[in-house]
């Protein structure tokens, strides 16, 4: 089942189909928005943190636009495929690192920085594992590739949990969310590594 946010992106991206805007430009713009949101959250100022959370969540929704635009403009490419993966990893890496900095003077102390670093590392390692999964699954042909999907149910994916970050932040519950997200990112990283190892073993 196609995820609900991807369906929305498919409809909303249509006005860009007949413009000079390229999928890779959308990917880069999405990355810039994500990093900007993360940097605002790193300040620790409640007003800027609230804005940063909203901006970061927006970037995660816009992340679906590049793929949909590529399909509708028939501009899928290997470069776009890898760029999308890198953009996602850097976005989440920046988020975890910045949240670690934001909470270093709070209840978590130095553990916040370590949790942020662990989350950032998990984002990068998961990207590399997913690339290996794609390669082992023959998901990349001579022209383009499709990214590995997240576990999902009823039109919602595991990654969609990030949309909850904005209201959770506005309600003042960002720190527990940060802890849960850091643990979740590590678990997902282990899941992707295990899947990549199984596929590699089956291929050998």
Residues 106-159 have pLDDT tens digits of: 889 999 999 999 999 999 999 999 998 888 776 444 444 445 555 556 667 778
∠ CA(103), CA(109), CA(111), 5° rounding?
95
Q: In whole angstroms, what is the distance from residue 54 CA to residue 34 CA?
A: 10
Region label for 172, one of left (φ > 0), alpha (ψ between -120 and 50) or beta (otherwise): left
Q: In whole angstroms, what is the distance from residue 126 CA to residue 131 CA?
A: 9
Q: Which residue has the tokens 């291929």?
A: 203
Report the domain count for the chain.
Answer: 1
Q: In whole angstroms, what is the distance from residue 78 CA to residue 91 CA?
A: 20
pLDDT higher at 199 or 95: 95
Residue range of the domain that includes 72: 4-203
Confidence check: pLDDT of 100 > 60: yes
Count Cβ atoms below 10 Å from residue 23 Cβ, excluding itself: 25
Q: In whole angstroms, what is the distance from residue 96 CA to residue 123 CA?
A: 9
Q: What pLDDT score does 178 carry?
A: 96
Confidence check: pLDDT of 204 > 70: no
Q: What pLDDT score does 142 carry?
A: 41
Q: In whole angstroms, what is the distance from residue 36 CA to residue 42 CA?
A: 10
Name 140's bridge partners. 145
Q: What pLDDT score does 144 carry?
A: 44
**For the chain, the helix, strand and coil percentages under 3-state DSSP, each to the nearest 5:** 75, 5, 20
- What CATH number has the domain bearing residue 175? 1.20.120.1760
C-alpha torsion angle, residues 11, 17, 20, 26 (rounded to 10): 40
Confidence check: pLDDT of 32 > 70: yes
Q: Report pLDDT digits (tens) over 37-76.
A: 999 999 999 999 999 999 999 999 999 999 999 999 999 9
Q: Report pLDDT digits (tens) over 191-201.
A: 999 999 988 88
Structure tokens at 153: 């149910």
Confidence check: pLDDT of 27 > 70: yes
């Amino acid at each position: 089942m196609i995820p609900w946010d991807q369906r929305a992106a498919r409809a909303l991206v249509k006005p860009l189909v007949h413009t000079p805007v390229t999928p890779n430009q959308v990917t880069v713009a999405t990355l810039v928005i994500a990093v900007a949101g993360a940097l605002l959250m790193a300040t620790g100022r409640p007003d800027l943190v609230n804005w940063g959370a909203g901006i970061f969540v927006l970037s995660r929704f816009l992340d679906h636009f590049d793929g949909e635009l590529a399909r509708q403009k028939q501009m899928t490419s290997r470069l776009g495929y890898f760029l999308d993966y890198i953009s996602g990893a850097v976005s989440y890496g920046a988020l975890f690192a910045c949240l670690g900095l934001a909470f270093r003077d709070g209840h978590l102390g130095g553990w916040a920085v370590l949790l942020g670093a662990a989350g950032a590392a998990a984002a990068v390692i998961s990207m590399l594992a997913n690339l290996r999964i794609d390669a082992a699954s023959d998901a990349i042909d001579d022209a383009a590739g499709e990214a590995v999907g997240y576990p999902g149910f009823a039109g919602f994916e595991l990654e969609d949990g990030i949309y909850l970050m904005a209201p959770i932040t506005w309600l003042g519950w960002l720190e527990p969310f940060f802890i849960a997200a850091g643990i979740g990112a590590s678990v997902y990283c282990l899941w992707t590594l295990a899947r990549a190892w199984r596929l590699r073993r089956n291929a050998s």
